[in-house]
């Protein structure tokens, strides 16, 4: 049983070294108001004066005090002496393990230095503990945590919430269910107003792990005693109530030793409380604390053992996941980079072991971007969107200058086509951006095996991710430049020798030849300037053929009255021109402007698609038709060209 406390002390040192507090170990926590005598109680337990003294708040950091009983024959004693065999008492701090303190005045100074180093020179507090071990043959195995005293009013440069800070710090330690609360109260104050007992009751309402210590029994008012308090009639705690007598401030100034103070304490208890003297005093308190701590550790031991075993299993599994020891760093580095490279490529190609089933990723998402996102964007771009009749007519007139145009100039055609081609650049660049984002996301989908390697070497993981990200970022501008160059290539040269252009050009040439042949036929006139019957028949046949071609294009859509097959006047009226203008406008806009689309068979057989070239020709025909000086016949010639070229 005596070995339990040193084992717990070793566990505390280990957890403090690694910075882990997931395991709550049994310990004794000292709480009390400021100047209630906590430090004097601890010094009496040790038998040495080693704690800082002064006015106001002195203890500003938790002090974990581990008392280790040892003798001169103990091996631990010999190892801690560092070559000196005649030491009886010494101290060691955990933050300076290599230094052994034999002068307890130096121990006090080191506590003050370490407190100022972390908490500053002001009166503020800090939750980081100081760990001190004292080896002696005059102590019992014990672990005690000394905490700052409770205060109400800030003094000096203390923050306004100093009371709340101290209270939170105390609650953190006494809320541990494996801790024993040593509530220190002064005998010369009312127990009903004891702050330490009040806090202990908050976390331990039944008092099962609370031990009350009544200090300054010799300072009670004349005519009063603490018999009711020491007998447990006032304070309901289960672990007992022990009274002690502390050294006064004058005793400290006079350098009264702890040994003399303990003798005076025993004499006072025998004189004032003879029936209770054997159950009070500092020696009895030390034995009681040692017994309570050992029994408390014994009670907590099964749970601690289970908890430690579970943590060992968890960390052993974590250690195994890190793999074997690295023998050849260069080879290990090459293997990790190769695995990452293979996993990255497999994610793009879709051959990875762990395929994502909840969302598209890798090459599948890139395919979706190309064929779905980018494809739908291109489908939504209408080739003639943003191209109005006025734009077309203006381009044609600007290309011809002062000369009236009979045919559509190629310059105007290229100008309008290039403006439409430029609309493909923005969605193409957006497609590049989406693919770049997906290739960055692929880094996170490189397989479980690679991720485990990355967890083992987190800095290497960060470096690989940084290098790949920088590489993708560097290749993004050249990719955008390539897309822009492709669009610029298409804009730089319009290949009119393409088969689509050649077939339409041959039809136009043949139609123009037939028209010239028809015009070269001699005109026979019956009398005067009136056209002969033969000449009228030729014109009627030409117009009839042109109107049939127009009717073939528009399908069931009725023709305006001036273009009806039954005949038309030589000069259309203003009303006829208005009707024809509306009809041409709807026809030039193409099938998309209609409210109802023809069936697939009708569109395929009777309604050829009208390309931008055909619409330009139709615009020219419309312009000629609306010009009375040109005559209706010119309209038929233009539209015959439109219909014939659209059939190709």
The CATH number of whichever domain residue 128 belongs to comes to: 3.40.50.300
Beta-carbon contacts of 56 under 8 Å, excluding residues fewer than 6 positions away, are 34, 123, 155, 156
Same domain, 172 and 276: yes
Distance, in Å, from the CA atom of 422 to the CA atom of 314, rounded to the nearest integer, reads 61
Q: What are phi and psi of 104, to 5 degrees?
A: -75, -15
- 64 C-beta neighbours (distance < 10 Å), count: 22
- Write the CA distances from 383 to 23, 72, 294, 388, integer angstroms: 72, 101, 90, 12
Listed residue (148, 275, 280) closest to 218, CA to CA: 280
Same domain, 224 and 345: no
Q: What is the pLDDT of residue 31?
A: 92
Beta-carbon contacts of 452 under 8 Å, excluding residues fewer than 6 positions away, are 321
Spatial contact of 194 and 183, defined as CB atoms under 8 Å apart: yes
Spatial contact of 95 and 57, defined as CB atoms under 8 Å apart: no
Same domain, 540 and 483: no
Spatial contact of 189 and 197, defined as CB atoms under 8 Å apart: no
Q: What is the pLDDT of residue 471?
A: 92
Q: What is the pLDDT of residue 501?
A: 66
568 in any annotated domain = yes
Distance, in Å, from the CA atom of 24 to the CA atom of 297, rounded to the nearest integer, reads 11
- Write the CA distances from 441 to 347, 348, 446, 473, integer angstroms: 11, 11, 10, 13
Helices 282-321 and 448-456: angle between axes, nearest 10 degrees: 140
Secondary structure element (H or E) that encloses residue 182, with its range = strand 179-186
Q: Which residues are bridge partners to 29 per DSSP?
A: 145, 181
Same domain, 265 and 397: no
Spatial contact of 270 and 277, defined as CB atoms under 8 Å apart: yes
Same domain, 115 and 180: yes
Signed CA dihedral, 383, 385, 386, 392: sign only:
positive
Same domain, 194 and 99: yes
Q: What is the pLDDT of residue 478?
A: 93
Beta-carbon contacts of 118 under 8 Å, excluding residues fewer than 6 positions away, are 61, 126, 128
Q: What is the pLDDT of residue 122?
A: 74
Q: What is the pLDDT of residues 119-140, one digit of tens each?
A: 777 777 888 889 898 888 888 8
Same domain, 282 and 337: no
Signed CA dihedral, 212, 216, 218, 220: sign only:
negative
Q: What is the pLDDT of residue 574?
A: 55
15 in any annotated domain = no
Q: What is the pLDDT of residue 593?
A: 40
Helix, strand, or coil here: 257?
coil
- Which alpha helices (H) appear in 1-158, and where do they start and end? 4-18, 38-46, 75-81, 104-119
Same domain, 149 and 289: yes
Q: Which residues of the chain have pLDDT under 50?
A: 75, 77, 80-81, 83-84, 523, 525-526, 528, 553-554, 557-572, 588, 590-608, 625-626, 628-634, 636, 642, 644-648
The three-point CA angle 450-453-458 to 5° equals 115
Secondary structure element (H or E) that encloses residue 98, with its range = strand 96-101
Distance, in Å, from the CA atom of 136 to the CA atom of 144, rounded to the nearest integer, reads 16
Q: What is the pLDDT of residue 203?
A: 92
Same domain, 63 and 182: yes
**b/e string for 589-627 if b means 16 or more Cβ within 10 A?**
bbbeeeeeebeeeeeeeebbebbbbbbbbbbbbbbbbee
**CATH code of the domain covering residue 465:** 1.20.120.1240
Q: In total, how many domains does the chain have? A: 3
Last residue of a domain, one of 251, 273, 296: 296
Helices 282-321 and 258-272: angle between axes, nearest 10 degrees: 120
336 in any annotated domain = yes
20 in any annotated domain = no
Q: What is the pLDDT of residue 125?
A: 83
Distance, in Å, from the CA atom of 467 to the CA atom of 345, rounded to the nearest integer, reads 16
- 420, with CB counted inside 10 A (0-12, 13-18, 19+), is middle
Beta-carbon contacts of 357 under 8 Å, excluding residues fewer than 6 positions away, are none
Same domain, 48 and 103: yes
Spatial contact of 212 and 195, defined as CB atoms under 8 Å apart: no
Q: What is the pLDDT of residue 567?
A: 41
E-state strands within 218-327: 241-243
Q: What is the pLDDT of residue 1?
A: 53
Distance, in Å, from the CA atom of 144 to the CA atom of 64, rounded to the nearest integer, reads 6
Q: What are phi and psi of 462, to 5 degrees?
A: -60, -40
Distance, in Å, from the CA atom of 214 to the CA atom of 182, rounded to the nearest integer, reads 10
CB half-sphere exposure, 124, CA atoms < 13 A = 14
1 in any annotated domain = no
- Which alpha helices (H) appear in 493-590, and where do they start and end? 499-519, 533-554, 574-588
Q: What is the pLDDT of residue 565?
A: 38
The three-point CA angle 30-33-38 to 5° equals 45
Domain that holds residue 481: 330-492
Distance, in Å, from the CA atom of 416 to the CA atom of 398, rounded to the nearest integer, reads 12
Listed residue (65, 43, 71) closest to 144, CA to CA: 65
- 243 C-beta neighbours (distance < 10 Å), count: 27
Same domain, 402 and 447: yes
Spatial contact of 132 and 73, defined as CB atoms under 8 Å apart: no
Last residue of a domain, one of 296, 320, 340: 296
Spatial contact of 400 and 335, defined as CB atoms under 8 Å apart: no
CB half-sphere exposure, 4, CA atoms < 13 A = 20
Helix, strand, or coil here: 590?
coil
Beta-carbon contacts of 433 under 8 Å, excluding residues fewer than 6 positions away, are 476
Same domain, 248 and 341: no
352 in any annotated domain = yes
21 in any annotated domain = no
Spatial contact of 287 and 267, defined as CB atoms under 8 Å apart: no
325 in any annotated domain = no
């Amino acid at each position: 049983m005596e070995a339990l406390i040193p084992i717990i002390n070793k566990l505390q040192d280990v957890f403090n070294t690694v910075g882990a507090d997931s395991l709550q170990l049994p310990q004794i926590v000292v709480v009390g108001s400021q100047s209630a005598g906590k430090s004097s109680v601890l010094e009496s337990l040790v038998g040495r004066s080693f704690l800082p003294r002064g006015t106001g708040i002195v203890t500003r950091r938790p002090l974990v005090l581990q008392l280790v009983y040892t003798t001169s024959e103990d091996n631990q004693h010999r190892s801690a002496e560092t070559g000196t065999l005649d030491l009886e008492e010494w101290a060691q701090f955990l933050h300076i393990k290599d230094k052994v303190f034999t002068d307890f005045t130096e121990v006090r100074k080191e506590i003050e230095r370490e407190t100022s180093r972390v908490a500053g020179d002001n009166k503020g507090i800090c939750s980081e503990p100081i760990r001190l071990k004292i080896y002696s043959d005059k102590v019992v195995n014990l672990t005690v945590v000394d905490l700052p005293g409770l205060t109400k009013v800030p003094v000096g440069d203390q923050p306004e919430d100093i009371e709340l800070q101290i209270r939170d710090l105390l609650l953190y330690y006494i809320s541990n269910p494996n801790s024993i609360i040593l509530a220190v109260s002064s005998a010369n104050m009312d127990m009903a107003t004891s702050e330490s007992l009040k806090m202990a009751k908050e976390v331990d309402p039944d008092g099962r792990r609370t031990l009350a210590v009544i200090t300054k029994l010799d300072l009670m008012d004349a005519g009063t005693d603490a018999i009711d308090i020491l007998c447990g009639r006032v304070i309901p705690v289960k672990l007992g109530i022990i009274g002690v007598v502390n050294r006064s401030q004058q005793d400290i100034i006079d350098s009264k030793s702890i040994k003399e103070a303990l003798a005076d304490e025993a004499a006072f208890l025998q004189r004032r409380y003879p029936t209770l003297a054997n159950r009070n005093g500092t020696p009895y308190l030390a034995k009681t604390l040692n017994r309570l701590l050992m029994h408390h550790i014994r009670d907590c031991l099964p749970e601690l053992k289970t908890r430690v075993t579970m943590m060992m299993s968890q960390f052993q599994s974590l250690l195994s996941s890190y793999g074997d020891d690295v023998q050849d760093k260069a080879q290990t580095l090459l293997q990790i980079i190769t695995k990452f490279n293979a996993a990255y490529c497999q994610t793009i190609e879709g051959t990875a072991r762990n395929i994502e089933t909840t969302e598209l990723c890798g090459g599948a998402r890139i395919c979706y971007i190309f064929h779905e996102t980018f494809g739908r964007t291109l489908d939504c771009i209408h080739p003639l969107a943003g191209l109005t009749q006025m734009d077309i007519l203006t381009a044609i007139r600007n290309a011809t200058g002062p000369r009236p145009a009979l045919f559509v100039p190629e310059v105007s055609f290229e100008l309008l086509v290039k403006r439409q081609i430029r609309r493909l650049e923005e969605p193409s660049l957006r497609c590049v951006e989406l693919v770049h984002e997906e290739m960055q996301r692929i880094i996170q989908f490189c397989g479980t095996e690679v991720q485990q390697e990355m967890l083992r070497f987190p800095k290497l993981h960060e470096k690989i991710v940084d290098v790949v990200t920088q590489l993708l970022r560097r290749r993004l501008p050249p990719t955008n430049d390539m897309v822009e160059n492709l669009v610029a290539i298409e804009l730089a040269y319009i290949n009119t020798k393409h088969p689509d252009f050649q077939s339409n050009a041959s039809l136009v040439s043949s139609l123009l030849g037939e028209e010239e042949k028809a015009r070269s036929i001699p005109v026979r006139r019956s009398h005067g300037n009136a056209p002969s019957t033969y000449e009228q028949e030729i014109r009627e046949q030409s117009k009839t053929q042109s109107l049939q071609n127009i009717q073939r294009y528009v399908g069931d859509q009725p023709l305006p009255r001036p273009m009806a097959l039954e005949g038309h006047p030589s000069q259309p009226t203003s009303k006829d021109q208005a009707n024809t203008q509306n009809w041409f406008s709807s026809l030039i806009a193409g099938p998309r402007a209609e409210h109802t689309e023809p069936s697939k068979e009708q569109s395929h057989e009777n309604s050829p698609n009208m390309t931008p070239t055909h619409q330009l020709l139709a615009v020219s025909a419309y312009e000629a038709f609306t010009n009375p000086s040109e005559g209706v016949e010119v309209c038929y010639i233009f539209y015959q060209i439109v219909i014939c070229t659209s059939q190709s």
